[in-house]
Amino acid sequence: MGLKGPGLAGIAAGLLTLAACGGSAGTTTQTDVGITANSILLGTTNALSGPAAAYGTIANAENAYFTYVNNNQGGVNGRKITFKILDDGYNPAQTVPLTKQLVEQDQVFAMFSGLGTQTQTSVRDYLNLKKVPQLFVATGATTWGKDYSNFQWTLSWQPPYQGEAHIYAKDVLQNHPNAKIGVLYQNDDYGQDYLKGLTDGLADKAALIVDKEAYDVTAANPFAQLTKLKAAGVDTVFLFSTPKPTIQSLAFITAGLHWEPTIYLNSVSSPQVYMGIAKKSGAALKNVTSVGYIKDPTDPQWANDDGMKLYKTVIANCSTCNVLDGFNIYGVAVAYTMVDILKLAGNNLTRANVMKIASSQLNESNPFLLPGVKVTTTSSDHFPIMQEQVITWGGTGWSLQGSIIDERGSIK
């Protein structure tokens, strides 16, 4: 075993020096691993390749905002943000080694906006054990906010799917109290969370759901399931599906089934660009309801909005980003919150302090969210965004209905 020698052991020991022994306190500032006098290193894993590659642009949009802050504001308190993006192909088996690489080799200060429920669950234990912030994972699964007491280094950002479904339940009970509800859902955490939220929200009226049909991501289209829903006598359809099956469903309901149910769409699939495609494919788009919390870059009502103008300036920093892609404004908005937190941390730029601010002291107005929606956390509530507004399709665009609905505290 001649490979060993004290010199090599020294190198190994050096490489093994981990986050825990950070905090090389300067004269006035408290800092941690990943922070220097003029830089902050953040890391992420996202799906840049593979079947979920459509989401990969989120990371690039986030990077565009950091670039904007670095170039136009000189960084955060003089520190420029470096954002290391690695591709996990939406596969948890890749997320694990890549996250360990970012934490142990690249020595990031925090993980930011990792994509996917299963992928991010796969590293939650590890990051909490290492006390590395796993901030604002890009998924609306309920577990992130709900299980905060067990995983205090992990937070999500967007409204949880279940909270959104509660709003649909309220809307249906108010406007269609005798609805015969049919649900089309993707058989993963996303679809199942929505379905659970709807069932919980309907409470003792859950029997209004007369049929629910699941489809798998490998399905070519959800037409069989929709045919079944129509045959079951459904008059109100919930589409808890990702954009492509949603567009297919909207077109098939009109053109393929000559059916005119009331339709509820989830917010992931409601951006105007998708509605446009559905319309061209023959969808009537009558009685379509969804909710929103973020400004849709394809929606003309924001054309002169300051937040939208800022978004367009920011996204110009990303050569591969499509300005009309709703995922990009999501990325810019969540990066905005991250930068705000780093600013708030000021000279106490430690992982613990950043987590403290993010999990319990947020009260942010974000220019990319709908007017009135705030990013808020308190010592007892760890779902940053819990306000959404009902929107209905008016033939050419979405219009906001009523006022902002706050679902805070509704998820048990």
Partner 1 sequence: MDRIRTAPPRYWLVAVVFLFFFGLPTVVSSFVAGEWAQALVLAIAIMGLNILVGYSGQLSLGHGAFMALGAYTSAILANRFHMDYLVTIPIAAVLTGVVGFLFGVPALRLSPLYLALATFALAVVTPSLIKRPAEFTGGVRGILVAQPDPPAFISGAFTTITGTVMTSDQWIYYVCFFIAGLLFWLAWNLARHRPGRAMRAVRDAEVAAAASGVNIAGYKTMAFGISAFYAGTAGSLYAVSLGFISADTFPVSLSIQLLVGAVVGGLASIGGPLLGAVFAYFLPIEANQWVPSQTWLPDQVTSTVKNAGPAVSYGVILILVMMFAPTGLVGVIRSGYVLLNRRLRAASDRDTGQVPPDPQTV
Partner 2 sequence: MQEFLQLVVSGIATGAIFASLALALVLIYNAMGLVNFAQGEMAMFATFIAYTLVARGVSFWIAFPVTLVLAFAAGTVIQRIVIKPVERAPVLTLVIITLGLATLVNGVAGFMWGYVPRSFPSPFSPESVDLAGVYIGYRDLSVIAVCGLVLLAVYLLLQRTTVGLTLRAAAHHPDASRLLGVQVSWMLALGWGLASAVGAVSGMIVAPTLFLEPNMMQTIIIYAFAAAVLGGIESPLGALVGGLVVGVVVSLAGAYIPNASDLQLAFGLLIIIGVLILKPNGLFGRAATRRV
Beta carbon of residue 160, minimum distance to partner 2 (angstroms, whole number) = 23
Instruction: Kindly tell me the burial class for residue 100, based on how many C-beta atoms sit within 10 Å of its own C-beta (0-12, 13-18, 19 or more).
Output: middle
User: Counting contacts by CB under 8 A, is residue 57 touching partner 2?
Assistant: yes
* Calpha distance 107→34 (Å, rounded): 6
Name the residue among 235, 259, 253 with its Cα closest to residue 181: 235
**In sequence order, what are the beta bridge partners of 365?**
374
Q: Which of 29, 30, 77, 101 binds partner 1 (CB under 8 A)?
A: 101
User: Counting contacts by CB under 8 A, is residue 218 touching partner 2?
Assistant: yes
Beta carbon of residue 74, minimum distance to partner 2 (angstroms, whole number) = 31
Q: Which of 92, 256, 367, 397 binds partner 2 (CB under 8 A)?
A: 256
Stretch that binds partner 1, among 74-82, 88-96, 386-394, 395-403 (CB under 8 A): 88-96
* Calpha distance 220→252 (Å, rounded): 13
* Calpha distance 91→262 (Å, rounded): 36
* Amino acid identity, position 411: I
User: Counting contacts by CB under 8 A, is residue 281 touching partner 2?
Assistant: yes
DSSP letter at 56?
G
CB atoms within 10 A of CB 230: 18
* Amino acid identity, position 187: N
Stretch that binds partner 1, among 42-50, 160-168, 194-202, 333-341 (CB under 8 A): 42-50
Q: Which of 1, 13, 207, 220 binds partner 2 (CB under 8 A)?
A: 220
Q: Which residue, 34 or 326, is less far from partner 2 as judged by CB?
A: 326
User: Counting contacts by CB under 8 A, is residue 12 touching partner 1?
Assistant: yes
**Region label for 182, one of left (φ > 0), alpha (ψ between -120 and 50) or beta (otherwise):** beta
Q: Cβ distance 366 to 157 under 8 Å? A: no
* Calpha distance 72→203 (Å, rounded): 50
Q: Which residue, 320 or 379, is less far from partner 1 as judged by CB?
A: 320
257: partner contacted, choices partner 2, partner 1, none (Cβ within 5-8 A by kind):
partner 2
User: Counting contacts by CB under 8 A, is residue 256 touching partner 1?
Assistant: no
Number of residues located near partner 1, criterion CB under 8 A: 53
Beta carbon of residue 49, minimum distance to partner 2 (angstroms, whole number) = 6
* Calpha distance 269→357 (Å, rounded): 31
Beta carbon of residue 367, minimum distance to partner 2 (angstroms, whole number) = 23
Quick note: the x/- pattern for partner 2 over 304-323, rule CB under 8 A, is ----------------x-x-
How are the residues of the chain apportioned to helix, strand and coil, as percentages rounded to the nearest 5? Answer: 45, 20, 35
398 phi and psi, to 5 degrees?
-85, 145
Stretch that binds partner 2, among 159-167, 273-281, 372-380, 385-393 (CB under 8 A): 273-281
Q: Which helix (H) or strand (E) holds 302?
A: none
CA atoms within a 13 Å half-sphere pointing along the CA-CB vector of 197: 29
* Calpha distance 231→251 (Å, rounded): 18
User: Counting contacts by CB under 8 A, is residue 173 touching partner 1?
Assistant: no
Q: Which residue, 93 or 203, is less far from partner 1 as judged by CB?
A: 93
Angle at 140 between CA 136 and CA 142, to 5 degrees: 100
User: Counting contacts by CB under 8 A, is residue 63 touching partner 1?
Assistant: no
Beta carbon of residue 183, minimum distance to partner 2 (angstroms, whole number) = 12
* Calpha distance 182→240 (Å, rounded): 11
Query: Site residues (CB under 8 A) for partner 1?
Result: 1-4, 6, 8-13, 15-16, 48-51, 53, 56, 86-87, 89-94, 96-98, 100-101, 103-105, 116-119, 121-123, 125-126, 143, 187-189, 192, 216, 218, 319-320
Query: Site residues (CB under 8 A) for partner 2?
Result: 49, 51, 53-54, 56-57, 187, 213-225, 227-228, 230-231, 243-244, 247-248, 251-252, 255-258, 273-274, 276-277, 280-282, 320, 322, 324-325
